[in-house]
Amino acid sequence: MRSLAKAGAIFDRINEFMFWLAAAMVIFANFAICYDVGMRYFLNKPTTWAIELTENIQVWFTFFAAAWVLKREGHIKIDFIVSRLRPRTQAMLNLVNYVLCATACLVVTWYSGQVVWEQFQTGVHTHSYMHLLMWPIYIVLPIGFFLLFVQFLRNANRYLSEWKIGLGKSS
């Protein structure tokens, strides 16, 4: 159990780091867009990189912050039916939901990892002005989905504990 708690603490630090990296990317993207707008409208010299770079950054910061948001359950939930159920039933439904989501994330991690590996091996480039390699752009998919997989499992474990605690209640 001690090693599991230590692994959880390490994961939390990684998750926190990824969140702050995502926040830095959002700030950079905002400055890049402002720079591009200024160059375009005030000096009539638009940049060739700002739009394409910020498009790619949007993919990155989304997946870097997703597991952090999930840990805090900050995502949108439609729970108007579930919230009316008994706490033990809620815990069981949430447990099943998070196990299914973890499974889906694991599948997407595997397949996106295969796609990124294929892109790395073949050296596929974007069909854009910057002609970037594809794999550095999409490497965030297996990383982000793996982080989500782990966090979904951690949340499922929490709901399993809540469900077990509810065993002695009349709920």
What pTM value is reported for the model? 0.87
Banded model confidence at residue 164, pLDDT cuts 50, 70, 90: confident
* pLDDT digits 0-9 by tens, 18-38: 999 999 999 999 999 999 999
Secondary structure of 94-108 as H, E, C letters: HHHHHHHHHHHHHHH
pLDDT digit string (tens) for 101-149? 999 999 999 999 999 999 999 998 888 878 888 899 999 999 999 999 9
What is the identity of the amino acid at 23?
A: A
Angle between helices 2-42 and 50-71 (to 10 degrees): 150
Give percent above pLDDT 70 in the chain: 96
At 24, the amino acid letter reads A
Round to whole Å and give the CA distance between 23 and 18: 9
Q: What is the pLDDT of residue 130?
A: 80
Among 171, 1, 157, 10, CA closest to 88: 171
**92: nearest Cα among 9, 163, 143, 41:** 163
CA distance linking residue 70 with residue 103, whole number of Å: 15
Q: Determine the Cα–Cα distance for residues 112 and 25; give it in Å rounded to an integer.
A: 22
For residue 83, what pLDDT is reported? 85
